[in-house]
Chain A
Amino acid sequence: MNGETTMLLALAIPVLTAVLIGLLGRWPNMREAVTLVGAGMLFLCVASLTPGVLAGERPELLFIEFFPGLKLSFLLEPLGMIFALVASFLWIINSIYSIGYMRGNQEQKQTRFYICFAVALASTMGIALAGNMLTLFVFYEALTLSTYPLVVHKESEAARAGGRTYLGILLTTSIAFLLLAVVWTWSATGTLDFRAGGILAGEMHGPMVGVLLALYMFGIGKAALLPFHRWLPAAMVAPTPVSALLHAVAVVKAGVFSVVKVVVYIFGLEFMQAEPSTDWLLYMAGASILIASMVALRQDNLKRRLAYSTVSQLSYVTMATAILAPLSMVGAALHIAAHAFGKITLFFAAGSIYTAAHKTKVSELNGIGWRMPWTMGAFAVGSLSMIGVPPTIGFVSKWYMLQGAFSTGQMFAVAVIFVSTLLNAAYFLPVVYAAFFRKPAVGEDSPEHGEAPWPVVLALTLTAAGTIVLFFLPALPLGLAKGLMGL
């Protein structure tokens, strides 16, 4: 099977999975088997593309012409490969987790849940494999819409309000800014292809470049650059598997993925370096990291704390991109994978606590570590990866970012990474400490509970193991990340 056919399969499998889930909705066991099989097949499909991409192949698919000169097209390159691998692999684990979580909490409308999940994954694949900016935009919007039913899953007043913020911010930014940027690029250059070295050089210069960059960066609301980050905490009303895979991996990574794509393939590093009007991005992203971390410090709701941590971690990728050094780009690409594994572990743990103990607040977690050792152990590993401590993959990505920052003399970026590491430690370590070393408050009449259902525990153990394994064997993501920069 050649690369093109496999790519087509990677796009088709999640869609077919969604259709099958819909047809088998009446039989939960069948339905969930289909989800698992679909996820497994998707991963195999994506994985089989990897050797080719590492060897320098760039399979391409062309579909119908949207507008004269603008096709719906797909092109696989290393960054998309990383994103597709991470998303499809974690979909398998997340499906195991979902089954445990959704059944454990007796959630309603599970068929709709699994269908939307599969459609969201299909959109994610579309983003990862997009061959031009318009194709990316199409799937970007599809991802927003397909995740909306998941955010409002509980259909409560809170869910409705959260859904409004979610859709409001993501659609506003994408239609008002991103679409404008895309059309602007199209009218300025006559192309929207992703080309090495960018397409804007020579077509545009001066302060307008900075404005266009702003339209792109704020338009990609999924990257949650301040002040357009509010949708992410709002999305936390969703069931935890949604927060875990979509709002720690697929959706937010689609955001930073698009950021890297735009900087590398639309603007081009050299062009950005030559245009001083684009410097603001570094400072904006740096500020975003620090402010979001400080907000996270003050959150008592565990999922909200994780959400603000995500906002801050996403801006790491944006900042690493804005450093514009090849090494920091490698760091940015790696961080997409690193943060995915770490953060999904943390969300899995939060959901596990909710399922077993029905607790959602940090202040209620005293002593819970001994009742749920696997969960809190995984949480500790995930936290270390967020902080960037070896032996976790979070350390590797930070290492490359710092190298890039030093190589270009960006002391601001170095300082931001240093301070934010301290902040990360300050809002994660107390949770771990309280869970293992504080005694439960006296007189607390919480019912006895042990670990969450086994699929939940299995899933979070796997992802926690993943963060450690990737530290020791980073060859694959590193190879792909270096392929992005041609190193």
Chain B
Amino acid sequence: MLAVHLPVFQVLLPLLAAPVSMLLPGSRVSWVFSTLVSWGCFALSVLLLQQVLQEGSISYAIGGWAAPWGIEYRVDTINAFVLLIVSGISSLVLTGAQASIEREVAKNRIDLLYTCWLLALAGLLGIAITGDAFNVFVFLEISALSSYALIALGSGRRALTASFRYLVVGTIGATFIVIGIGLIYMATGTLNMADMGARLPAVAESRTVIAAFAFLIVGIALKMALFPLHFWLPDAYSYAPSPVAAFLAGTATKVAVYLLLRFSFTIFGGDFAFGAMALERVLMPLALLGIFIASLVAIFQMDVKRLLAYSSIAQIGYMVLGISLVSVTGLTAGILHLFNHALIKSALFMVMACVFYRMGATRLDDFAGLGRRMPWTMAAFVAGGLSLIGIPLTVGFVSKWYLVVAVLERGWWPLAVFILFTSLLAVVYVWRVVEVAYLRPAAEGAGRCEAPLSILLPTWVLIMANFYFGIDSSLTVGVASRAAAALLGIGL
């Protein structure tokens, strides 16, 4: 009986838990509570994914009001997968977050952090699960507002400007999205995604719909930090508390990529978005430029968190590149990288949390001699870095393999060369850090100072996940290719 209500619990649980965690006495208790809630969400998303893989899509009517009048939650392969990523990353990061949050966030604001975290989680899960376009906007705002607060909690006053900047850009993005949704509503008279998808082809010629499409794509591109709309991201990631960066890097932009898929394929339909509007001709050059420029900029960063942030922008480019190929393999590659990159970047930002915990900063110079002083932390960095580069047996390699196969399928071999060459840029920026950590001696008298086990353990779980899914990719590839086929409307 309860199983029927799984979809709504997925969002209700963190949403209701958020204020509760505020009321709990002591930051430690609220940490335990939020972590448990997050793991609960993860369990729900596992159940949902299982159910979807066995029985096909699930439709749930909120309050019993049938779609298209009521709000519908609709779970299919792609968003079940996104739910799994978001809740999984949140749980792992939160498990290891306590020690570094105590260190990085002012004492009286720690309760606030856990509350905002759960709200952000609820928002992100809500965006992924809902089948109602306006509901997307609502959850988008919930997640965005709480992430502004999360970023602002970072130590140092620059966190405030970073957060404010993100707020301005994020609000513009959200506004664009709501305008887009409003215009579609105007043209079709419905807010339900499936219903929109059914009615849009009839009015696809109208200027309203074309304008709606443009607004939506730009709004989403802002949210997912697609080059050249990425400028808010480096500051936000580098000044936020490290665990928050790990959480957002693995989830927020990924959910935006999901929105791009959802809007362009399910709502507007591949024929409109990529046929009539030729979206791929916009996305592909931007993706390529983003990959190249952001990777290049990452090489010259003096702060490692910032370096990782720029690398994230480049990696978003790879995802969008896969999507812009508009083929099953291409989409599979894009969706795969969504999952894989979440694992890579969250792991690496957790490493940053370890380093920040001991060194109080993550400037490149702070890494001198860390190979000896924090052996496990730096080993995790090397392993995560290898995954970022895409060395075989890591998830990064799986993504790269599929992307290159997809590109060659199209016969675009210069693009294949481009992808492989840009992954060499990752070698450069990862190895810069590795060299400093292992080959530059630490300051005199600096002893061993490994990070506490409570951060290290979840970090290594994430790292091991990088290898596990890099060796046995059957689950991720299977789910991603099913989702890709479903989005393109091809039965498997």
User: A and B bound?
Assistant: yes
When C-beta atoms are compared, the residue in chain B nearest to A139 turns out to be B392
The reply to whether B421 and A176 form a contact with Cβ atoms under 8 Å apart is yes
Collect the chain A residues with CB atoms within 8 Å of residue B408's CB.
183-184, 187
Question: With A and B bound together, what is the CA distance between A66 and B416 in angstroms?
Answer: 20
Contact residues, A310-367 vs B (CB, 8 A): none
Partner of A167, one of B405, B423, B427, B474: B427
Nearest-Cβ distance from residue B133 to partner chain A, whole angstroms: 35
Q: Given the known inter-chain contacts A137-B392, A138-B393, please indicate yes or no for A179 contacting B427, CB distance below 8 A.
A: no
B468 vs chain A, min Cβ distance (A): 11
Given A138-B392, A145-B386: A176 and B439 interface contact (C-beta under 8 Å): no
Question: Which residue from chain A places its CB closest to the CB of B372 in the assembled complex?
Answer: A109
Q: Are B435 and A160 in contact (CB under 8 A)?
A: yes
Task: Tell me if A64 counts as interface (CB < 8 A to partner B).
Answer: yes
Q: A172, B424: Cβ atoms under 8 Å?
A: yes
Q: If the complex has contacts A137-B392, A160-B439, are A179 and B404 also in contact, measured as CB distance less than 8 A?
A: yes
> Taking CB as reference atom, which chain B residue is nearest A134?
B392
Within 8 A of A (CB), among B461-479: 471-474, 477
CA distance A137 to B471 in the complex (A): 14
User: Quick check: is B24 within 8 A (CB to CB) of the other chain?
Assistant: no
Bound CA–CA A474/B404 (angstroms): 45
- In the complex, the answer to whether B439 meets A175 with C-beta atoms within 8 Å is no
- On whether A171 and B474 interact (CB within 8 A), knowing A145-B391, A186-B405, the answer reads no
- Fill in one digit per residue for A130-151: 1 if any B CB lies within 8 Å of its CB, else 0: 0000100110011001000100
Q: Tell me if B33 counts as interface (CB < 8 A to partner A).
A: no
What are the residues of chain B within 8 A of A180 when measuring CB–CB? Answer: 404, 413, 416-417, 420
Residue of B nearest to A208 (CB): B413
A443 interfacial by beta-carbon distance below 8 Å: no
Cα–Cα distance between A222 and B235 once the two chains are bound (Å): 41
* Cβ of B205 under 8 Å from chain A: no
Name the A residues within 8 Å of B401 (CB-CB): 67, 183
The answer to whether A176 and B477 touch (CB under 8 A), given A66-B471, A141-B392, is no
Query: Pick the contact of A176 from B402, B409, B420 — CB < 8 Å?
Result: B420
Interface string of A144-164 (1 = CB under 8 A from B): 010001001001000110011
Q: Besides A164-B435, A180-B413, 20 other CB < 8 A contacts? A: A66-B398, A67-B477, A68-B477, A134-B392, A137-B392, A141-B391, A142-B392, A145-B391, A152-B438, A155-B438, A160-B439, A168-B427, A172-B427, A175-B420, A176-B417, A176-B420, A179-B420, A180-B404, A180-B417, A183-B416
B contacts, CB < 8 Å to A? 386, 389-393, 398, 400-402, 404-405, 408-409, 413, 416-417, 420-421, 423-424, 427, 431, 435, 438-439, 471-474, 477
A interface residues, Cβ below 8 angstroms from B: 64-68, 72, 134, 137-138, 141-142, 145, 149, 152, 155, 159-160, 163-164, 167-168, 171-172, 175-176, 179-180, 183-184, 186-187
**Could you give 15 example pairs across A and B, Cβ below 8 Å?**
A64-B472, A137-B392, A152-B438, A155-B438, A155-B439, A164-B435, A167-B427, A171-B389, A172-B424, A175-B427, A176-B420, A176-B424, A180-B413, A184-B408, A184-B416
